Amino acid sequence: MGSPADPVATLRAALDALERATTRGHHGRWSAQRRSDLFDGCLEELWGELAPPPGLALAALGGYGRRVQLPRSDLDLLVVLDGADPGEVRRVAEGISYPLWDAGFELGLVVRTPQECAEAATERLDSLTAMLDARILAGPEELLRDATVPVRRIAAGDVPGFARRLRAAAVARRERFGSTAHLLEPDLKEGGGGLRDVASLGWLQAAVGSPLEDAGLLRTWEGAAVDAAEGFLLRVRSAVHLETGRRADRLVMELQPAVAAEMGFVDEPGLPAADGLMRAVFEHARNVELVHDLALDRVLDEGDAPTVPDLAGPAQVLRALGELAEVGAVPSSALLDAVEAADVPDPVVWTPEVRDAFVGLLREGPAGAGMLDVLDRIGLLVRFLPAWDAVRCRPQRDPYHRFTVDAHLLAAASGIAELLAGPADADDPLQTEAAGTIERPDGVLLGALLHDIGKVGQGNHAAIGAGIAERQLRTMALEAADRDLAAFIVAEHLVLPDTATRRDLTDENLVLDVAARVGTPERLAALYLLAKADARATGPAAWTPWRQALIRELVGKVQRAFERGEMGAELAATLAERVDRLRELLAAEPDDLVDRFVLRMPRGYFLAVGPDRAARHLPVVMPDLGANEVRTASHATGAAGTHELLVVANDRPGLLSWIAGSLALGGISILSAQAFTTEDGVAVDLFEVEGAFEPEIDERRWRAFRSSLRRAIDGSASLERRVEEQRGAYPAHRAPAPITVTVDNEASEFSTVLEVGAPDRIGLLYDITRTFADLRLDVHLAKVTTFEGRVVDAFYLRDALGRKVTDPRQLDEVHEALRERLG
């Protein structure tokens, strides 16, 4: 604790008063200057008390030298000495440092001769730039001049060389800290477009020796934009210091709401206060980044004035940028001047030339996206894409995203261009195949560029974006097929990642529904490439092997559903038609009951069974089933003597065999059968039957069938012996026809398909399905047809754990058992 006269205590009190003078959001440039003055006063006083010898001077460096001292920034000081006694130098340096350190200030103090200053400046750019900001605080001013004049000469003597060093330093900073202009948690000081870039322009001015505007290195609006950006960023950075109580430069998410409130941002429709703050930060930082780079370019362009083409209109502008992108060059400031001077109407009227030039830029990948970024920074991109305005500089708040919406869109578009054109990825064969499937790359590129265009603060961005993209795409002179593909992938870009990570990929209905929604292999390929480019443009955490594995599994299953013809655009249309018709037929039933029925039944059911029959099935299928309950319903069909029989029961191994056996016992012949299983494990089995010996099936026979089946299900009677007895009672009219058994593990994603051909006879289906039950195989789907005395049956089988049967030994066992039983 110092006495009242203690200059450091006085300083502390004055700084505290300064902080209290206004809210945390209003400590901008004025406050930094006032703070700097307060430090000046304190240091002058300390210096006076120390009464240093004449060969010593005290100077402020860096930001403090520029009189920009932020609330928690450290203080950079230089003691210049010229032949002073080392003991005295030490006494003075300690006399300055200790009281400030003791009071908790961060202080960096270097002691150098003018000679040493020049040496340090030659070696290190940061020493050089710090000296360019040097300002005398106490002691003889000539002494500081002796130090700064040679240093200034280093910069001024070779302005292009100095500019190159500034540029290299800026590039290194951007590599390390990223961009202040689009990172969601930007570094306000060191990031690209941050306050260090503003200072960098100041150093360039010091080297040039006159205002940059006068030297033709900045145009008037550029200088004004940087000035405004500096004022704003200083306010934000001061608020961050005051909010955290320390020298923090990163505006992390959790600080943003408080800083926004302190700075007077308020919630607006679709733009919360914190997003408004961030948008302003990004806008300003983009101006700084652009102007900084332009100014350095202009210095370095001197002497070889590039020939600039005459840019008559939007197509020429895009083509000029496209040519640069092709060779990987950056636009010169002369070219940008020409671009700004070109006649680009707002909005642009798209012609085929404009469209081709625009898509040509997208095709160039990162270099092309860089050109669109440049166009955006000079305010022209929104003339091509008015919808862009709403996502420009817009932050997004989720744990994965690192960039603003517009930066993310450009990154996704450039990423997908690389995936489309790029070399095969050994770890991702699907990528190469998907790229090869795309016939309309333009649609894919544009879809990627617009995929998040619906992120305008209204929620549900895919649906909103679909409408916005549709309107935007319609202005762009595209072929209908490109437009449709682009609009489709905007609307559906979340289907693969969301389904893959949140839903059960072993659910066949799910896979078929995705296939129905996607419709074609090209759309599937486009969605896969976008999922990958989207994730990689999001941040390092988004495209993990974990996500990849799930998304690829889904894509593979959907792809195979297309290849097998289980689903596709046409089938999806048929399915939709049938379901619509079914809803009409069931208009009297509650909507949610019909919805549940549609969701619950396998897609193949609706494709195999017409809406009329399905409508009849609903009341039998939908009510909850008791564990051992079995429901049957029969219905005379058009053909004489034949009936449709519906059996509904909880699925279990053996069920189909009990039904078949009970039918045999009731004297009922099976003409055809279709067995389905719902996702929640209920068997819905359909039979076309006729009387075995007499054409009519009377009620007595139905009763016999039902009672046998009930007893088989609740385990009170064995069918085996009774079916055997019945078979013995009738002479076998068995022709020596061969029995065929084939296994196909490729025909279905989820089941092993086993086909059995055999001469028809009593209890044949019973025998086959009994064999499956003995081997603990579940019949998930069955198609049984009888044709001229021969039965051809296809069974979709799964093992007790719901898997395909792939073990060759187990398959041999099935073969053996079937031949033994049927042969």
Report the residue number, 181 or 567, with the smaller CB distance to other proteins.
Answer: 567
The arrangement of strands across the sheet holding 682-691 comes to 630-636, 642-650, 682-691, 668-677, 778-787, 790-798, 752-759, 740-744
Report the residue number, 372 or 542, with the smaller CB distance to other proteins.
Answer: 542
Report the residue number, 23 or 544, with the smaller CB distance to other proteins.
Answer: 544
Please list the residues that pair with 669 across neighbouring strands.
690
Please give the C-alpha separations between residue 322 and each of 316, 374, 619, in angstroms, as whole numbers.
9, 12, 64
Kindly state the tokens that stand for 419: 């995936």
Q: What is the DSSP string of 254-266?
A: GGHHHHHHHTT--
Report the residue number, 229 or 496, with the smaller CB distance to other proteins.
Answer: 496
The nearest distance, CB 802 to other proteins, in angstroms, is 4
Encoded amino acid at 801, one letter: L
Encoded amino acid at 149, one letter: V
DSSP helix/strand/coil, 750: coil
The nearest distance, CB 554 to other proteins, in angstroms, is 11
Report the residue number, 502 or 721, with the smaller CB distance to other proteins.
Answer: 502
Report the residue number, 501 or 718, with the smaller CB distance to other proteins.
Answer: 501
The nearest distance, CB 800 to other proteins, in angstroms, is 10
Distance CA 597, CA 613 (A): 13
The nearest distance, CB 548 to other proteins, in angstroms, is 9
Helix ranges (H only) for 586-654 are: 591-600, 603-608, 611-621
The nearest distance, CB 713 to other proteins, in angstroms, is 20
The nearest distance, CB 428 to other proteins, in angstroms, is 9
Are the C-beta atoms of 684 and 646 separated by less than 8 Å?
yes
Report the residue number, 430 or 586, with the smaller CB distance to other proteins.
Answer: 430
Location of structure tokens 């195949």: 433
The nearest distance, CB 620 to other proteins, in angstroms, is 25
> How many CB atoms lie under 10 A from the CB of residue 540?
9
Report the residue number, 18 or 775, with the smaller CB distance to other proteins.
Answer: 775
Report the residue number, 10 or 244, with the smaller CB distance to other proteins.
Answer: 244
Distance CA 308, CA 335 (A): 6
Rg over CA atoms, the chain = 40
Q: Nearest to residue 763, comparing CAs of 660, 685, 656?
A: 660
Report the residue number, 458 or 745, with the smaller CB distance to other proteins.
Answer: 745
What is the distance, to the nearest Å, from the Cα of residue 581 to the centroid of all Cα atoms in its chain?
Answer: 38
The nearest distance, CB 413 to other proteins, in angstroms, is 25
**Beta strands of 82-134 (E only): which ranges?**
107-112
Report the residue number, 44 or 433, with the smaller CB distance to other proteins.
Answer: 433
Q: Nearest to residue 756, comparing CAs of 716, 796, 719, 803?
A: 796
DSSP helix/strand/coil, 779: strand
The nearest distance, CB 444 to other proteins, in angstroms, is 19
Distance CA 113, CA 151 (A): 12
The nearest distance, CB 669 to other proteins, in angstroms, is 36
Kindly state the tokens that stand for 552: 């690829």
DSSP helix/strand/coil, 268: strand
Report the residue number, 148 or 559, with the smaller CB distance to other proteins.
Answer: 559
Distance CA 117, CA 100 (A): 24
Q: Nearest to residue 737, comparing CAs of 823, 645, 810?
A: 823
The nearest distance, CB 580 to other proteins, in angstroms, is 29
**Nearby residues of 554 by Cβ (< 8 Å), 6 or more positions away:** 496, 499, 500, 505, 511, 514
Report the residue number, 69 or 748, with the smaller CB distance to other proteins.
Answer: 748
Report the residue number, 430 or 621, with the smaller CB distance to other proteins.
Answer: 430
The nearest distance, CB 254 to other proteins, in angstroms, is 14
Helix (H) or strand (E) holding 405, with range, is helix 405-421
Report the residue number, 425 or 774, with the smaller CB distance to other proteins.
Answer: 425
- Cα dihedral 393, 394, 395, 401 sign: negative
Distance CA 690, CA 669 (A): 5
Indicate the pairing of strand 642-650 with strand 682-691: antiparallel
Distance CA 363, CA 370 (A): 12
**What is the contact surface with other proteins in residues (CB under 8 A)?**
429-430, 432-433, 501-506, 544-547, 549-550, 552-553, 556, 559, 801-803
The nearest distance, CB 503 to other proteins, in angstroms, is 5
Report the residue number, 352 or 436, with the smaller CB distance to other proteins.
Answer: 436
Please give the C-alpha separations between residue 422 and each of 153, 189, 529, in angstroms, as whole numbers.
49, 36, 12
3-state SS record for 520-580: CHHHHHHHHHHHHHHHHCCCCCCCCHHHHHHHHHHHHHHHHHHHCCCCCHHHHHHHHHHHH
The nearest distance, CB 547 to other proteins, in angstroms, is 8
Report the residue number, 363 or 523, with the smaller CB distance to other proteins.
Answer: 523
The nearest distance, CB 437 to other proteins, in angstroms, is 10
Location of structure tokens 């989720």: 398
The nearest distance, CB 242 to other proteins, in angstroms, is 23
Report the residue number, 37 or 553, with the smaller CB distance to other proteins.
Answer: 553
The nearest distance, CB 528 to other proteins, in angstroms, is 11
DSSP helix/strand/coil, 466: helix
Determine the Cα angle at 686 with ends 681 and 692, to 5°. 135
Kindly state the tokens that stand for 233: 């960023």
The nearest distance, CB 749 to other proteins, in angstroms, is 12
Location of structure tokens 């400590």: 27
Distance CA 120, CA 139 (A): 22
